[in-house]
Amino acid sequence: MSVSFCGLELAHPVINGSGTFDAIAARRAFGKALDDAFPFAAFVSKTITLAPRAGNPPPRLWEAQAGLVNSIGLPNKGLERYMSEDLPELARLPAPLITNVMGSTAEEIAALVRACDARDEIAAVELNVSCPNVKSGLDIGADPGQLEHVLTAVRPALRKPLIVKLTPNCADVAECAKAAQEGGADAVSLINTLRAMALAPTRGHDAAQPRAWLGGGTGGLSGAAIRSLALAQVAAVAERVTIPVVGMGGIGSTAHARQFMDVGATLVAVGTESFRDPALALRIARELHPQHPPGMRRMNA
Amino acid sequence: MSVSFCGLELAHPVINGSGTFDAIAARRAFGKALDDAFPFAAFVSKTITLAPRAGNPPPRLWEAQAGLVNSIGLPNKGLERYMSEDLPELARLPAPLITNVMGSTAEEIAALVRACDARDEIAAVELNVSCPNVKSGLDIGADPGQLEHVLTAVRPALRKPLIVKLTPNCADVAECAKAAQEGGADAVSLINTLRAMALAPTRGHDAAQPRAWLGGGTGGLSGAAIRSLALAQVAAVAERVTIPVVGMGGIGSTAHARQFMDVGATLVAVGTESFRDPALALRIARELHPQHPPGMRRMNA
Amino acid sequence: MSTRRLPVPPSERTIAPFGRRLLTVTANERLGAYRLLKAADPDGPAPAAGQFAMLAAAERWGAGEDERPYLPRAFSYARWLADRRSRRSPIGGETHFLLEDVGPGTRRLCELRAGERLWALGPLGVGFDPPEDERRALLVGGGVGIAPLAIWQDSLGAPGTVLLGFRDGARAEGATLLGDALLATDDGSVGHRGFVTDLLSAELDRDAHATVYACGPPAMLEAARALCAVRGVPAQLALEAGMACGFGACFGCVVPKRCGGYLRVCVDGPVVDAAELDRVEAHVGSPA
Amino acid sequence: MSTRRLPVPPSERTIAPFGRRLLTVTANERLGAYRLLKAADPDGPAPAAGQFAMLAAAERWGAGEDERPYLPRAFSYARWLADRRSRRSPIGGETHFLLEDVGPGTRRLCELRAGERLWALGPLGVGFDPPEDERRALLVGGGVGIAPLAIWQDSLGAPGTVLLGFRDGARAEGATLLGDALLATDDGSVGHRGFVTDLLSAELDRDAHATVYACGPPAMLEAARALCAVRGVPAQLALEAGMACGFGACFGCVVPKRCGGYLRVCVDGPVVDAAELDRVEAHVGSPA
Ligand SMILES: Cc1cc2nc3c(=O)[nH]c(=O)nc-3n(C[C@H](O)[C@H](O)[C@H](O)COP(=O)(O)OP(=O)(O)OC[C@H]3O[C@@H](n4cnc5c(N)ncnc54)[C@H](O)[C@@H]3O)c2cc1C
Ligand SMILES: Cc1cc2nc3c(=O)[nH]c(=O)nc-3n(C[C@H](O)[C@H](O)[C@H](O)COP(=O)(O)OP(=O)(O)OC[C@H]3O[C@@H](n4cnc5c(N)ncnc54)[C@H](O)[C@@H]3O)c2cc1C
Ligand SMILES: Cc1cc2nc3c(=O)[nH]c(=O)nc-3n(C[C@H](O)[C@H](O)[C@H](O)COP(=O)(O)O)c2cc1C
Ligand SMILES: Cc1cc2nc3c(=O)[nH]c(=O)nc-3n(C[C@H](O)[C@H](O)[C@H](O)COP(=O)(O)O)c2cc1C
Ligand code: FES
Ligand code: FES
């Protein structure tokens, strides 16, 4: 039931959403059982940036209606220590490694991508373009023109497949996907979390100045609550582009995974729902019909 | 506990979301009890267009996780019959009437607005700018420049307060709100439903070609599931504009209403949650503290 | 609760109290493949036959399959037993609903136990009209669609002719909800093997001076509509459609009208004159 | 289920099976203001004291206040009774959790009845380390935070010195979970009127050659940490934080480290050496 994706041969069509599974921490919790029953056909790392980031102050989590609002703030060791400390561990996983990177300028992104290009342990790169532009404050991925421009600049630095993780916080995600394709993306993945907010609970309504619950102020909504929004975005994107699409957003069952493939996703990613059961993706992969017609059709296209 | 909003004196800060309450139909179901305990401080009509619209073919409803996806398709009698048939009935309501209108060109909008200006039964106009632009396909409200341009053109046609109902399907809703203010809006309301999709359920996975469930193809998500997204958008808008903000999106309790006011909404609107209990808005209005600090502060500003 | 059955005044529509109210489950009885949910509705007005209520469990409404249900669900009043104290007032009684488990909402309601509570909004919609010019009432029901015919039979005060169709024997046990009925089952396990509409056409051939009251799956309703149409027999059809609100607010529950456009099942129906429709489409948003 | 209590091998961390598993509730007993939830965990390994599990009701997890809960909730193992059959294997036993109803998730778990099932992922995190150089174990608990001290007392094999603090008498009944403990209550209804940390400082003044094992509200943990720090007494603190996953995936459960940066309570804790922290911040995402 192998699936070919950007030249990679994957055991099945289910991967993880970046930042929703830490294989190294999971090894500490589940031991070798994790490697014996590794749920993902490819492992996507948490977003890596050039410089280390501590992430946002707590609280970082808010539980919403059938969803989760997080403001983790992309904590990571930074490129250098990721390469020296994490890569050897991740290379031992029984699945190809996709490294997710983010930068706020073309130069930063190029440096990240170049570093990934140099390491054989990395099979492909996923570029997170949900990074706020320093000038406009908008995600650099929200403006099709700017996105294509950045990609054209950085694409030559990578000989491996480039997946662009689109931002859902835009007016026309399909247009952004088209721009990514024009810019040289080999695939696009979506959706990332949607901008959300929560206020600290107040017992009764005390006069106390209301304050945001999340240490980061605002956060991103994920999980079951966003599935119908994600399905609409994935369908719109798959209609517009010819490159493969990685669909995600609230996938919590094999039926959900099929829906995303039915609207044109080649791969699906499980994110928040893994928090309810880390082995969920494994169950989905096993239950999925090996050659799922719509998925295959688009892949062989 | 009256609240002043764009020069209107309202009994309390709770109104209805356009298209989520049909006062005329409700009278048939609940009789005069509706008028005796009318839940809304002002009544917002369903969106009215120049020409009559039958709306989308069924199915029009999909129940999502703590949410509803609808593709009603803005059925309405058209401006002329709304004025002749509905207005007399709506004028008898114990609350001022806000007529919600939508057009796809500045000319259409101007005609609608002018007609509303001529009728004393109408206290204010809400302009729904979630209408797809014929050229770009994007909502006319999604592009700040275009929005300000349209508003500047139509604003002179109305001597009454103009509320602009923003579209949430944009990259930067606060920028759109600012544009609305520049264009002459007296208030902005948000959020409208978010583009969503659902596939028809398949018992097991039959080979049958998967098809969209909704007759309209895609629809809009509303209800509890979108509350954290709505709160973030309302907060962002209230920070950017000086005109009053009408906040809505999944409000289902007094606590929720307070949260929207805490982030800067002057009025709140109840929509989908009214479907669970048509008297919900009444309960919220009664439970709300009359002079809610943040709300008042912004109003007297 | 001491109650006695009272013929419900045959008025087309009872006005609902504004706002949902809490009912207390008094019993939840197995009726073959169905559940008969009984609840005390002390503040509810006597419904007109054919009207429905929007129901939701007061606790844990949601968290079923795909985190649903979220919105309340529509159910026909199957019976109304007026409280004795209110013999003179039409307020207060025990209400019965016939439930078929077809998804997360009905599943949750089917598991309610005596003493648990549910939210109800209703009575909603327009019910059945009594027959005109001495026509006999011909009640035709399919599956769980027999529910509104039971209360209609009560309010007519006379058994009349009742034809009921079911998929199988387990479902046919639901027929005990009504007085002496002629049965048909798809598998022939009870009564006539075949469609209830076979019985209907025989009845109409015998005596067409009748008004047909039909409720059931779309295919059955369409067959009944057609049978009546060719014979010029007036028919009132109780329709179903997926609903979000039940009181005309969402415009979600529409079915196409003969004259073009749509009608809202929740406020223009659920009972409609067959003449208003071209045909009964396989409805969506509720079980086929 | 025939079981016998076995001292749990004091290993810092037991590896969890990969994937959540279904447990069956065997009892849900009232313990003053708390509930003691007992469940059969035939496939679960014996946890190390201080470890926790992520729990969710198998049915109707959600649809509470604000449509929550959605994610599972973290609970310390309070006790582990190994199945007799598995005397030689560490697999299979009855697990106990002490619950305080503070919101939609705990409320749902508190209402589970014997025979109902719940999802469990665990044992997770790192537990307590035995005392070194003959120090005595000094167990200090506050409120529902006494839970991990009970299983720690079991696995130490000796009662040791146990100091427990509660808000009131109803909560103080939770103390029966552990062997002979000294009590303090805020309202003085039971034992010392005041803070459990008053008892702790007295104990440390009497004999500071101890290792302190503390679990409870942040204010209590911080007071205990400070008391130990000034006296150079080693302390192991069982922390709490709002969690989404429990296995290091979400980076949501962080607390600031002394040396800067954050540690993840679910994988670097919940039991941490007090020396790793500057101070215990009022944690968020779980009841104060
Ligand atoms: C006026 C009226 C009277 C009724 N009277 C009765 C009665 O007396 N007894 C009775 O048992 N039933 C009655 N029904 C039908 C009942 O309302 C439905 O069976 C119920 O709403 C189903 O809800 P559910 O959650 O159990 O299943 P759902 O899954 O919500 O609904 C089942 C059907 O809805 C569709 N569906 C599936 N998923 C979704 C989704 N996510 N969103 C929208 N649609 C979906 C499919 O077609 C599926 O077959 C009546 C309906 C109406 C309109
Ligand atoms: C390692 C560990 C061990 C634990 N052991 C135990 C134990 O043995 N027994 C026990 O009773 N408890 C224990 N807890 C605490 C328990 O996990 C929480 O009480 C539980 O998660 C609360 O969930 P809830 O849904 O009941 O209440 P919630 O409302 O989810 O949580 C209560 C607190 O979370 C915050 N909050 C409110 N709303 C939200 C929201 N929407 N999103 C995020 N946060 C919100 C507020 O601070 C509130 O006081 C432990 C926690 C941890 C981390
Ligand atoms: C706690 C958390 C952390 C995340 N971190 C990242 C990240 O580092 N990089 C990234 O591209 N996406 C990140 N995401 C987004 C997910 O990869 C995914 O796009 C999103 O959550 C939607 O999928 P889901 O609903 O299945 O979780 C994160 C999501 C969550 C919930
Ligand atoms: C069934 C339905 C119909 C709607 N019709 C309209 C409409 O005609 N015009 C409009 O501006 N908004 C319309 N809306 C959007 C609501 O007014 C509101 O902005 C949105 O539903 C979010 O609020 P809620 O989550 O409280 O429902 C509609 C929403 C629903 C659910
Ligand atoms: S169900 Fe909402 S209009 Fe009929
Ligand atoms: S709870 Fe997810 S990392 Fe700790």
User: CA of A130, closest CA in chain D: separation in Å?
Assistant: 18
Helix ranges (H only) for chain B are: 23-30, 33-36, 79-81, 87-91, 106-117, 144-154, 173-182, 227-240, 254-262, 273-276, 280-287, 293-300
- Between B135 and A251, the higher pLDDT residue: A251
At residue A299 the predicted structure's pLDDT band, cuts being 50, 70 and 90, is very low
Residue closest by Cα to atom 15 of ligand 4: B192
- Closest residue by Cα to atom 7, ligand 4, is B19
Question: For residue A137, which residues of chain B lie inside 8 Å, CB to CB?
Answer: 172
The pLDDT value given to residue B298: 36
Ligand 3, from A14, A15, A16, A20: best to mutate by most atoms within 8 Å of Cβ?
A20
Element (H, E) at A286: helix A280-287
Mean pLDDT of D101-124: 98
Q: Nearest CB to A20: which of D68, D69, D250?
A: D250
How far, in Å, CA of C217 to CA of C280, rounded?
A: 10
Confidence band (pLDDT; 50, 70, 90) for A166? very high
DSSP string, D33-88: TEEEEEEEEEEEEPPPTT-EEEEEESS--S-SGGG---S-EEEE--EEEEBGGGSS
Give the Å distances, CA to CA, from A5 to A24, A166, A186, A253, B159. Answer: 25, 18, 9, 22, 59
Residue B250 has pLDDT above 60, yes or no: yes
- Residues A211-231 have pLDDT tens digits of 999 999 999 999 999 999 999
Query: Which value does ipTM take for this structure?
Result: 0.95
State pLDDT tens for residues B109-139: 999 999 999 999 999 999 999 877 767 777 8
Quote the minimal CA–CA distance from C15 to chain B in Å: 5
| DSSP-derived secondary structure for B83-100 | IIIIHHHHHTSSS-EEEE
Q: Average the pLDDT over D137-156 and give the result.
A: 97
DSSP β-ladder status, A219-222 and A245-248: unpaired
Q: From atom 19 of ligand 4, which residue's Cα is the shortest distance away? A: B192
The tens digit of pLDDT for each residue in C247-284 reads: 999 999 999 999 899 999 999 999 999 999 999 987 55
Residue length, chain D? 288
Distance in angstroms (rounded) separating the CA atoms of residues C209 and D223: 89
For residue D286, is pLDDT > 60? no
Contacts of D262 in chain A (CB under 8 A): 54-55, 58, 75
Q: What percent of chain B has pLDDT over 90?
A: 88
Q: Which residues of B touch C (CB under 8 A)?
A: 19-22, 24-26, 28-31, 33-34, 36-37, 46, 54-55, 57-61, 63-68, 70, 72, 75, 213, 223-224, 272, 274-279, 282
The residue assigned the tokens 């002394």 is D258
Which pLDDT does position D6 carry in this prediction?
45
Of the candidates D18, D252, D285, which has its C-beta nearest A34's C-beta?
D18
Chain B positions in Cβ-Cβ contact with residue D66 (cut-off 8 Å) = 224
Lowest mean per-residue pLDDT among C8-12, D257-261, D275-279:
C8-12
The list of chain C residues with pLDDT below 70 reads: 1-11, 85-88, 283-288
The residue among A172, A114, A116, A118 whose CA lies nearest residue A147 is A172
- Report which of B39, B263, B63, D156 is spatially closest to residue C252, judged by C-alpha positions: B63
Locate the chain A residue with the closest alpha carbon to B252: A65
d(CA C280, CA C222): 5
What is the mean pLDDT of the segment spanning D123-142? 96
pLDDT bin (cut points 50, 70, 90) of residue A192 is very high
β-pair partners for D74: D54
Phi and psi at residue D57, to the nearest 5°: -65, 140
Contact (CB<8Å) C71/B68: yes
Query: Is B258 in CB contact (< 8 Å) with chain A?
Result: yes
* D103 token code pair: 């919101």
The pLDDT of residue B1 is 65
Q: What would the pLDDT profile of B14-23 be if each residue is shown by its tens digit?
A: 999 999 999 9
Supply the residue whose CA is at minimum distance from atom 4 of ligand 1.
C75
pLDDT at B205: 53
Q: Is C67 on the interface with D (CB under 8 A)?
A: yes
Residue in chain D nearest B228 by alpha carbon? D66
Q: Which two tokens stand for residue D26?
A: 């065997």
Q: What is the mean pLDDT of residues B133-146?
A: 83
As a whole number of angstroms, the distance between CA A144 and CA A156 comes to 19
Tens digit of pLDDT for each residue in C38-83? 999 999 999 999 999 999 999 999 988 889 999 999 999 999 999 9
Are B231 and A196 inside 8 Å of each other by CB? yes
**DSSP secondary structure code for residue A47 in this structure:** P
pLDDT band for position B25 (cuts 50, 70, 90): very high
User: Do D93 and D84 contact (CB within 8 A), yes or no?
Assistant: no
Is the distance from CB of B249 to CB of B237 less than 8 angstroms? no
- Report yes or no: A102 and A127 within 8 Å, Cβ to Cβ: yes
Closest atom, ligand 2, to C-alpha of D66 = 41
Cα–Cα distance, C16 to B25 (Å, whole number) = 12
Residue C286 Cα, ligand 1 centroid: separation in angstroms? 3
Interatomic CA distance for residues D22 and D3, integer angstroms: 19
Using the predicted structure, report yes or no on whether residue B296 has a pLDDT greater than 50: no
Q: Is D63 on the interface with A (CB under 8 A)?
A: no
pLDDT in tens, A104-135: 999 999 999 999 999 999 999 999 998 777 67
Name the residue type at position C37: L
Task: List CB contacts of D89: < 8 A, sequence separation 6 or more.
Answer: none
Q: Identify the bridge partners of residue B76 per DSSP, sorted by sequence position.
A: B53
Ligand 3: distance of its center to the CA of A192 in Å?
A: 6
Element (H, E) at C163: strand C161-166
What pLDDT sits at residue C288?
A: 34
DSSP state string for D116-163: -EEEEEEEESB-PPPPSTTPEEEEEEEGGGGHHHHHHHHHHSS--EEE
pLDDT mean across residues, chain C? 92
* A72 within 8 A of A19, measured Cβ to Cβ: yes
Beta D34-45 vs D21-31: how paired, if at all? antiparallel
Selected residue with higher pLDDT from D149 and B300: D149
Residue A141: closest CA among A111, A183, A78, A112: A183
**Among residues B105, B171, B112, B111, which one has the least CA distance to residue B135?**
B105
Residue D1 is predicted with a pLDDT of 37
Q: Catalytic residue positions of A? A: 131
Report the 10 Å Cβ neighbour count for B95.
Answer: 20
> Measured between beta carbons, which residues in chain C are less than 8 angstroms from residue B66?
62, 67, 70
B293 at A interface, C-beta within 8 A = yes
Closest by Cβ to D62, choosing from A25, A31, A66: A66
Helix (H, G, I), strand (E, B) or coil at B157: helix
Ligand 3 atom with the shortest distance to the CA of A130: 11
Of C17, C66, C285, Cβ closest to residue B59: C285
